[in-house]
Amino acid sequence: MSKALLYDATMCIGCKQCEVACAEQNKLPYDDRIAAESVQSEYKYTVVMTKEDKFMRRLCMHCEHPACASACPVGAFHKTKEGPVVYDVWKCIGCRYCMVACAFAQPKYEWHSRNPRVRKCIMCPDRVAAGKQTACAEICPTGATKFGDRDDLIKEAQERIRQNPSTYLPHIYGLHEVGGTCVLILSSVKVEEYGYPASAKLGDTPMPEYTGRVMEKIPDFIPVWSLVLGGIYWISHRRQEVAAAEAEERAEEEKNGSKR
């Protein structure tokens, strides 16, 4: 069963402990200057954003049907059976199609490296595979980020909305967006205000389907199109050969005729 993270923005106190734990877990630099940055980057996989007295966290959504994994020409991304979408740097050729393809703009790049890598939250795959929580969920003092089975977390989120309909918007962000994600968000304000793409814009169709519709036809297209092209070639050249042969015949006949 797929694991997931439920982030409840109404419970978040903006302490940024998740940022600290994430940096530690992934051996990323972290200091006051980085803590003050409100955007994700090659060294900041997750960020807690502040708007007035409200907070919102951002991290890789770990899609059920990840666009990055479908887009990567060398298969450097894949989704593990526990849910995390992970990155194999040794395969990467640096085309950055994953960055362009991701609807949530999560993959970031080491722009100033000579041998750059794509960087993003990988949902602590080793910890998750070992049955532990992600680093951010473990450290969260209020339980705003909660780790668990996706199905259980969905039930819990629905329960929270039912019990406090005045607190929450009646929508679990990530439940159906782009075919579902392993990060689910509950909030009292629209997530778009924090830079998340709007649900209406994303739709429920998994992004890989848009390219898949074309890609799946290619194995059939190749033999058909080759046959059509080869056929045209054959017909037009056959016509030429016939014309040449006829011309020769005629010339022969004329020659014979003149002899007689």
The yes or no reply on residue 163 touching another protein (CB under 8 A) is: no
Cα torsion through 120, 124, 125, 128, rounded to 10: -150
Binding marks (x or -) toward another protein, 23..62, rule CB under 8 A? -----------------xxx--------------------
User: Out of 230, 244, 249, 251, which residue is the one contacting another protein (CB under 8 A)?
Assistant: 230
User: Out of 29, 115, 255, 260, which residue is the one contacting another protein (CB under 8 A)?
Assistant: 115
Residues 182-211 within binding reach of another protein (CB under 8 A): 197, 201-203, 207-208, 210-211
Residue nearer to another protein on the CB measure, 130 or 218: 218
The yes or no reply on residue 220 touching another protein (CB under 8 A) is: no
Per 3-state DSSP, the chain is made up of helix, strand and coil in percentages (nearest 5) of 45, 15, 40
Tell how far CA 112 is from the center of its chain: 23
DSSP helix/strand/coil, 87: strand
The yes or no reply on residue 244 touching another protein (CB under 8 A) is: no
Specify the stretch interacting with another protein by CB under 8 A; choose among 26-34, 68-76, 122-130, 144-152.
68-76
Specify the stretch interacting with another protein by CB under 8 A; choose among 1-9, 11-19, 54-62, 65-73.
65-73
User: Out of 13, 51, 94, 193, which residue is the one contacting another protein (CB under 8 A)?
Assistant: 94
Q: Regarding beta strands 54-58 and 47-51, do their DSSP bridges make them parallel or antiparallel, or are they unpaired?
A: antiparallel
User: Out of 155, 159, 225, 248, which residue is the one contacting another protein (CB under 8 A)?
Assistant: 225
The position carrying tokens 């159906």 is 176
The yes or no reply on residue 113 touching another protein (CB under 8 A) is: yes
Q: Are 153 and 4 in contact (CB under 8 A)?
A: yes
Each residue of 230-251: b (16+ CB within 10 Å) or e?
Answer: eeeeeeeeeeeeeeeeeeeeee
Residue nearer to another protein on the CB measure, 75 or 143: 75
Whole-number Å distance between alpha carbons of 90 and 108: 17
Residues 124-153 within binding reach of another protein (CB under 8 A): none
Q: At closest approach, how far in Å is the CB of 6 from another protein? A: 23
246 Cβ neighbours under 8 A, 6+ residues apart: none
- Specify the amino acid at residue 37: E
93 Cβ neighbours under 8 A, 6+ residues apart: 73, 74
The yes or no reply on residue 91 touching another protein (CB under 8 A) is: yes
The position carrying tokens 């898949």 is 212
Q: Which residues contact another protein by CB under 8 A?
A: 40-42, 67, 70-76, 91-97, 99-101, 103, 105, 108-116, 197, 201-203, 207-208, 210-215, 218, 221-222, 224-226, 228-230, 232-233, 236-237, 239-240
